[in-house]
Amino acid sequence: MSDRAHNKSGKSYLSFLDNDDSTISSWSKILKERLKEGTQFKGLCSTPCLLLANDKGTLSIHQKKVCFGYQLVAFNKFGRDELSKVPSNKTQDSLLISHLCGTRNCCNKDHLILETKETNDERTHCHFSMRNALRSIKPETLPELTKIICSHKPLCGFLNA
């Protein structure tokens, strides 16, 4: 884990992990009530994204930000031990929560994986290419094009391809 501290929290890990599992579990229940299907990049992903109503993707309780919604989803999917390996301040080799769908702050557990920042940055280029391709091709041809454009495992966007 990195010894570099986050600019605001001063911590080298995800600060919401300071809370016990029962508190995080109660936040997860609140999060589920606040999620809605998103269509931000319709056609880019084979399953719907789940988003919080606010643009920042943060979960607030009693008007205090507790974490990003996708971090809670990742906690439930990967567990405390795996998320404790995700530093708050990242280098290219750092592990982070990556969105296969290319939608920032998506809370669909099937869209989240843990991978290095370097791989995540490469995915950003795939997502950009696929969004640009959608402007000039039929959306139903994108899965085949993705197999050509994307070299990642799992593939970007089309999770079941």
pLDDT at 84: 94
CB–CB of 117/91 below 8 Å? yes
Quote the domain boundaries for residue 117.
Answer: 15-88+95-149
Number of domains present in the structure of the chain: 1
pLDDT at 55: 76
Q: Is residue 159 part of a domain?
A: no
- C-alpha angle 154/156/161, rounded to 5°? 65
pLDDT at 34: 93
Q: Is residue 7 part of a domain?
A: no
CB–CB of 91/2 below 8 Å? yes
pLDDT at 154: 87
Provide the residue type at 93 as one letter. D
pLDDT at 104: 87
Q: Is residue 83 part of a domain?
A: yes
Q: Is residue 19 part of a domain?
A: yes
Q: Is residue 8 part of a domain?
A: no
Q: Is residue 59 part of a domain?
A: yes
CB–CB of 82/114 below 8 Å? yes
In the chain (161 residues long), the average pLDDT of successive 10-residue segments reads 55 90 96 83 73 89 94 97 92 93 91 95 89 81 80 75 39
Classify the phi-psi angles of 156: left when phi > 0, otherwise alpha if psi is within -120 to 50, otherwise beta: beta
Q: What predicted TM-score, i.e. pTM, was given to this entire model?
A: 0.84
Q: Residue 118 to residues 79, 102, 114, 125, 131: CA-CA distances in angstroms?
A: 22, 15, 12, 11, 20
Q: Is residue 156 part of a domain?
A: no
pLDDT at 131: 82
Q: Is residue 9 part of a domain?
A: no
pLDDT at 2: 46
